[in-house]
Structure 1
Amino acid sequence: MGFSPLIHPGSTPQGKALAAGLIAEQPARADHAFVTLVSNAAYLPGAEALLRSLRLTGSGADLVVLHRGLEQPHLARLRALGARLVHADLLPTSAGFDQTHARDALHRRAAFTKGGKPDFHTPLDNFIKLRLWQLDYDRCVFVDADAIVLRPVDKLFDMPEFCAAPNVYDGLDGFLRMNSGVFTARPDAATYADMLSRLDRPGVFWRRTDQTFLQDYFPDWHGLSVHHNMLQYVWFMMPELWSWDDIRILHFQYEKPWQDHDKAHLLRPLIDLWRAIAAGQPMPDLAAQTRPAA
């Protein structure tokens, strides 16, 4: 099977077409997979750390990276960590939908006031997550590329569609909202087609892109423990919820641990943990980690 030596915008990557808009370099090796999304090279450090962390858990699931906008050197880095690479196009949405959900337009209409999104945040790319429902697996667990897995989470494959953890990081009202950084899904072409029909409608605005859409599409979503998607802001905003004994997935929402930012001094122990895993070190002793100030 041949591979594209360089993927330029507008070019056609080589591999097996799984469905319209998806091309896989390799066949699936299992019937279940952890899936993440990398839509620009700035997310590569995060995806590499996530892949390393999943390998440290000993999971036998496939590790799938949906990607676009990456060149061969970027893909080689992910390939070296055992990722199954699947090139994914943007969704076939209308020009009006794209304009409404473009970065500047979305940030003006629904500004992020509680934390800082990096300059490489591209809201429209988030909807590519929905292509997970086109994949050739029976069961999938999606994990954002700015997260790391600290303990085995394969039991999530036995949970129904659609499970997600609440969006808790600054108050108890977050338990009423889901965070789409971790969720369970059952790929199905009919589900994907139905999603597209409901996604792009006249006048629609998905304030937090895929997250808002998925909560609307799955109104009876099943709640996972916050420990399956522990948001980094809990460390300094709700420290009473923090328990190293229970956390399975740590999610660096807003500012990223591979960049300098103005909250680094508040999050230093978490950043150091991420950097240890990103550097290829063994999983640190979580019981020995610093605890947040109450």
Structure 2
Amino acid sequence: MKSNDVTRWLCSILFCIVLVCVQFEGCVGSKTKKTDEAYVTLLYGDEFLLGVRVLGKSIRNTGSNKDMVVLVSDGVSDYAKSLLRADGWIVEMISLLANPNRVRPKRFWGVYTKLKIFNMTDYKKVVYLDADTIVVKNIDDLFKCGKFCANLKHSERLNSGVMVVEPSATLFNDMMSKIKTTASYTGGDQGFLNSYYSGFPNAHVFEPNLSPEMFSSRPIPEMERLSTLYNADVGLYMLANKWMVDENELRVIHYTLGPLKPWDWWTSWLLKPVDVWQDVREQLDESLPGTGGGQNSKDSFLVKFLFLLPFCALLFCCYHSFTKNQGYFSTLCRSSLCDQVRHLYYRIRSNGPLAYNSISTSTTNSVHQLLNGAQNKAPAYLGGISVCVCFVVAVVSLGLALLIVPRQVMPWTGLLLMYEWTFTIFFILFGGYIHLIYQWGKIVGSRVASSLSQPGSDYDSEKRHQRQISSCDVATWYYGLGMALLAIAAPSLPCLFGITALFLRLGLMVVGGIILASFMTYASEHLAIRSFLKGFDERENARNSGSCFLC
């Protein structure tokens, strides 16, 4: 019995060891080196995580089976590392190299860390790609390049966004010894490499189509220049609205737009090449729960909350308005559609939907006196102040909406959230301003009314009748819907006309913005004066119970 127990215990222990090994292999198997050549990128923080994921997917889409290595610093979260391993990246921890240049942009503090790719001696050759690049065709032929290869930009200086490096400890140590004495025109790694490889502009162009015999027989060049096909600059595309090379032969697209990156949802609406990046993003697998299509599991709840909150607020306002004005809505439902159309026709014919007052001309002289007082009491500067407030509120609404909407959501999601929250914030802020103007008008009206004789009963009945038939302010809806439609149409003009050039797109948006600004100027002035006169007209009386909550 004892021997059987020992055997069972040994079998259980062996089974547990095998199970742990299998789990360990599944978790960190992607760390194992498989080839002597690798694609490499850098990740300093989680902000560029989506870019690295899309880059890896684009490499695998071209059929390459080379290792993919990402060098990560301490600023990268454990979740990001796990996600990259699940995507097939080999994650290697590194320490940042401090930038020795005192005069430099703040974002260049750790860019010298890129030089550590020259010390990746576990590989015979590595192809470095920035996290804001994407591979559109197989580039395994770059591993045939010389000891150092890069693309020469229009400024006759190499760009360090795409490089081919033959790692060497001797070379890396030499760089480290000269890092403090070698000038950098950018204050970063790119300027240092241009100074270190001072003869690079005179290097020969890499020819990937040479026969294998010629590659094996020739001496390995110290430096070779890469064609623009391997580092197509979106910044140059933006200027000419076309690539400087054959688009069908492109290999690598580099999104060199400064702070604007392809994972920012709004760039997809400005630049056509971002569509290529977004197409690859949509193909991302769900390596971890909630990460399919480049989604962020942490932002999914936030996005749903941002979508639903304005709708819930709108439903609440509608419910509140309905319960408060239930009698009016009952009367409205009992009346026929023809009656409503006839009433609207006579109202427009008599006063127009944009008239400042709704008092009939058949009222008494005291009513005329009161109205004249209202017109005189409306401050002359009210319209100008209202226009300024309207534009300030519009700018504040746009700014707050940009801060609220997550940057890395899908383009359509970001656009819808942007519109939704811009309209919501504008409605709250400018609506509050209009309500203050209305209250101001009531205060002024009360003071004027106290100095006049009380109107007769005919006036009161006429006034109550006018309030009932004008319970829903048509002008408020007219201006509100007009501004909303123009705000949607202004940025949509380039898409409607099929224009892809950035500057033409911006030009059309400016034209649409001017039209919107003109309408907002007219609308804000009229709404403010209408609200003031409406409050002036009602004086100390309570607002009509049949008023719309938007009026």
TM range (shorter): 0.7 to 0.9
- Greater helix share, 1 or 2? 2
Task: Give the number of the structure whose alpha-carbon radius of gyration is greater.
Answer: 2
* Gap regions ≥5 residues in structure 2: 1-19, 22-27, 201-223, 286-497, 503-551
The residue number in structure 1 matching 2:67 is: 62
Rounded Cα–Cα distance in structure 2 between residues aligned with 1:57 and 1:291: 30
- Matched residues in 2 for 1:53 and 1:275: separation? 11
| TM-score, normalised via structure 1 length | 0.73
1:273 alignment counterpart = 276
Normalising by structure 2, report the TM-score: 0.40
The answer as to 2:219 corresponding to 1:233 is no
Instruction: Say if 1:291 and 1:241 are closer, same or farther in 2 by CA, change over 3 A.
Output: farther
Q: Which residue of 2 aligns with 1:30?
A: 35
Q: Which has the higher contact order (CA 8 A, sep 6+)?
A: 1
Does 1:188 pair with 2:153?
Answer: no
SS at structure 2 position matched to 1:215: helix
Tell whether 2:188 aligns with 1:209: yes
Residue 208 of structure 1: how far off its partner (Å): 4.6
Distance (Å, rounded) in 1 between the aligned partners of 2:225 and 2:184: 24
Cα pair 2:238 2:501 within 8 Å, conserved? yes
CA contact (8 A) 2:183 2:195 kept: no
Matched position secondary structure for 1:106:
coil
CA deviation vs aligned residue, 1:200-238 (integer Å, no higher than 9, x gap): 23x954525111111211223321111100011122213
Q: Select between 232-241 and 152-161 the one with higher mean Cα deviation.
A: 232-241
In structure 1, distance between residues paired with 2:173 and 2:143: 23
> Which residue of 2 is the match for residue 19 of structure 1?
none
SS of corresponding position for 1:193: helix
Deviations 1:164-214 (A, max 9, x none): 11224xxxxx3x11111001101111111000111123x954525111111
Deviation, 1:265, is 4.2
One-letter code aligned to 1:106 = R
Q: Which has the higher strand share?
A: 1
The whole-number CA distance in structure 1 between the counterparts of 2:39 and 2:173 is 22
CA contact (8 A) 1:234 1:242 kept: no
Structure-2 separation of matches of 1:234 and 1:181: 15
Give the gaps of 5 or more residues in structure 1. Answer: 3-14, 16-24, 108-120, 169-173, 283-289
Say whether the 8 Å CA contact 1:242–1:292 is kept in structure 2: no
Among residues 111, 114, 120, which one is paired with 1:126 in the alignment?
Answer: 111
- How many residues are treated as equivalent by the alignment? 237
Residue 61 of structure 1, CA deviation: 1.1
Q: Provide the residue aligned with 1:71 in structure 2.
A: 77
Q: Distance in 2 between matches of 1:278 and 1:129?
A: 25
8 Å CA contact 1:236–1:292 kept in 2: the answer is no
**C-alpha separation in 2, matches of 1:145 and 1:240:** 21
Aligned to 1:286: none
Instruction: Supply the RMSD in Å over aligned alpha carbons.
Output: 2.9
Residues 47-76 of structure 1: per-residue CA shift (max 9 Å, x gap):
010000001011121101011111111111
Q: Percent identity?
A: 29
The counterpart of 2:44, out of the listed 21, 39, 46, is: 39
CA contact (8 A) 1:35 1:143 kept: yes
Q: Structure 1 residues 205, 160: closer, same or farther in 2, change over 3 A? A: closer
Whether 1:49 and 2:63 are equivalent positions in the alignment is no
Rounded to whole Å, the distance in 2 between the matches of 1:55 and 1:34 is: 11
* CA displacement, residues 127-146 of structure 1 (integer Å, 9 cap, x when unaligned): 11111122110001100000
SS in 1 for 2:91: strand
- The answer (yes or no) to whether the contact 2:33–2:67 under 8 Å persists in 1 is yes
Counterpart for residue 444 of structure 2: none
